[in-house]
Chains A and B, each alone.
Chain A
Amino acid sequence: MKIEQQGETLYVSEIPELSAANAHAFRNQVNARLPAELKAIEIDLGATHFVDSCGLGALIALHKTATRHNGGVPVRLLNPTPSVQLLIEMTQMHRLFEIQTK
């Protein structure tokens, strides 16, 4: 997993999966890198082929953290794979996150 700051945006990419195996690590690592002047968080799911309930929990926890951070910071999910996008839509998470595809 790669986490980098691009201006005022925190960009997370190269996430092969979001599951019970790494959900806590994902959450902790992203939380640890949140800068004070953050304006947006972007999670690139282009390489993510598997998300389970723990992964959803990690995304929701990140969303709640972002809501409390700096007066509320949007979280964008970029380029989800079709199966992950289906899961996002079926669980109504598109009402919480902006979904952007290429």
Chain B
Amino acid sequence: MKALLISPTNRPDLAALTEAMPLPNLPVLGQSLVEHWLEHLARRGAKQVRVLAADRPDQVRRLVGGGARWGLHVDVIPEKTELTPAQARAKYRGDAASGWLSEPDDAVLMDHLPGRSDRNLCASYADWFAGLQEFMPLAAAPHRLGLTERAPGIWVGRHTRVAPSVELRAPCWLGKHVRVGPECVIGPGAILEDRVLVEGRSRITNSVVGPDTFVGTLTALQNSLAWGSALVNWRAGTCLSVPDPFVMSSLAKRSPAAKQAGLAGRFAAWAALALTLPWGLAAIMKSKISGRPALRPVVGVRPRGQAGPRGETVLTYYELENAPGWLRRWPQLWNVARGEFTWVGNRPLRPDQAEQLANDFERLWLAAPVGLFSLADTMGCTDAFGDEARAHASFYAVQANRRLDWSILRRGWQAWSRNAGGARDRTESATLVSPSLAEAEE
């Protein structure tokens, strides 16, 4: 029997939650939304399920695999836009009467939990929270291995350690591998997803703490969705980023956009500044003598997920006004030394340029860290913001790895040293990018 699952796309009301992953992948009481649905459809007798995903289908596919876990054959199909159930039926079921689950299970939009079509999870943060609270007893089904009900309305997952002095107040849910320090109060209305770490003397009520989230000592969370360093007040619908990692932070692997120059990279930038000081000073002196400003400030947009220490979304960097070729970027070694830039990344965009990024493909430019050298530089793009440059930036954002970075850095530094201004060499550029795709294939 066949069925279709439609992945919701573009739900700005849940933007803080879907920043890092598509909506079907969001954890709901220990399992993702799509996993709950696949489990439900398998119990209904489905054997083949197509998941129609317009948003990040690769991540959905990585999560569900082939569906063997549920005894299903699951295909994740990329779609240009989100289909309605009627559109999905018309496209994939056609006039076929048999071989499909009966309506409405034959084509389901995953904006609610199984058996709860009356509760739209995606309308607001408050609806998301309410939906999870209502689903708690249903999620604690007998087949959930390792989940125990320690007391009525208090569920605790496997390998979870709770200090003896912790007060658990129903209803509350603690996932797998959770750690709760001494003298905490958890609940009522608290959901701690898998691998959450709560330090001592904290209080969590009417809140959901996302997986791999650290909550520091003496922290009180109320009416909140805490997801890494993102804190949402689900009552007010407001969101902020918690700057202090000792209060709240993510314990998960950092996204590529969050990559910053490591200590070694920053020391190398200091060394490069010192080595190239004569040329930089010469360019500055030349400007001073001719009565022109030496440094030109430029405002650039910070990459996604890398707000400044006070939450600012832009940064200021400088160019040498009258320097030839790549020497113009000499002051940006200072940004690398400070950790604002990396050696290799995407070149910074002005705010007006960032506004011109027309679609999700082009907006990937901002998903990579800001770099001194970029892939577009080494490919000889003459138009720093043209279609080719945007393609190189988007490619780099998803394919960045150490090998590619070293290739770009080597070529960029060579060109800078020659002050060549980025002459194009097609043969070498094919070799430059092929290792990264080969590694992706591996």
Task: Give the B-binding residues of A (Cβ under 8 A).
Answer: 19-21, 50-54, 56-57, 60-61, 64, 83, 85-99
Please give me the residue from chain B that is nearest to A84 by CB atom: B437
Please give me the residue from chain B that is nearest to A54 by CB atom: B379
B419 within 8 Å of A (CB atoms): no
Q: Are A83 and B57 in contact (CB under 8 A)?
A: no
B433 within 8 Å of A (CB atoms): yes
Q: Are A86 and B54 in contact (CB under 8 A)?
A: no
Which residues of the partner chain A approach B241 to less than 8 Å between Cβ atoms? none
How many Å lie between the Cα of A87 and that of B399 in the bound state? 8
Known: A54-B429, A96-B361. Is A89-B387 also a contact (CB below 8 A)? no
Instruction: List 23 interface pairs A-B (beta carbons < 8 Å), by A numbering.
Output: A52-B430, A53-B379, A53-B391, A53-B433, A56-B391, A56-B394, A56-B395, A57-B392, A60-B391, A61-B387, A86-B58, A86-B440, A87-B399, A88-B78, A89-B57, A90-B398, A90-B399, A91-B361, A94-B54, A95-B360, A95-B361, A96-B359, A98-B80
Please, how many residues of chain B have a CB less than 8 angstroms from a CB on the other chain?
35
With a 10 A CB-CB cut-off, give which of B392, B426, B437 has the most chain A CB atoms: B437
Please give me the residue from chain B that is nearest to A90 by CB atom: B398
Task: Give the A-binding residues of B (Cβ under 8 A).
Answer: 54, 56-58, 61, 78-81, 359-361, 364, 375, 379, 387-388, 390-392, 394-399, 426-427, 429-430, 433-434, 437, 440-441
Which of A51, A54, A94 contacts B78, CB < 8 Å? A94
> What is the CB-to-nearest-CB distance from A54 to chain B, in angstroms, rounded to a whole number?
7
Q: Are B434 and A57 in contact (CB under 8 A)?
A: no
Which of A51, A85, A86, A92 contacts B361, CB < 8 Å? A92
> What is the CB-to-nearest-CB distance from A61 to chain B, in angstroms, rounded to a whole number?
6
With a 10 A CB-CB cut-off, give which of A54, A83, A88 has the most chain B CB atoms: A54
Q: Are B395 and A53 in contact (CB under 8 A)?
A: yes
Which residues of the partner chain B approach A64 to less than 8 Å between Cβ atoms? 387
Q: Are A91 and B398 in contact (CB under 8 A)?
A: yes
How many Å lie between the Cα of A86 and that of B436 in the bound state? 13
Which of B81, B360, B396, B441 contacts A92, CB < 8 Å? B360
> What is the CB-to-nearest-CB distance from B439 to chain A, in angstroms, rounded to a whole number?
10
Which residues of the partner chain A approach B390 to less than 8 Å between Cβ atoms? 57, 60
Q: Are A53 and B426 in contact (CB under 8 A)?
A: no
Known: A60-B361, A83-B440, A87-B440. Is A94-B433 also a contact (CB below 8 A)? no
Which of A51, A61, A83, A95 contacts B359, CB < 8 Å? A95
Which of B78, B429, B430 contacts A89, CB < 8 Å? B78
Known: A20-B379, A92-B360. Is A57-B387 also a contact (CB below 8 A)? yes
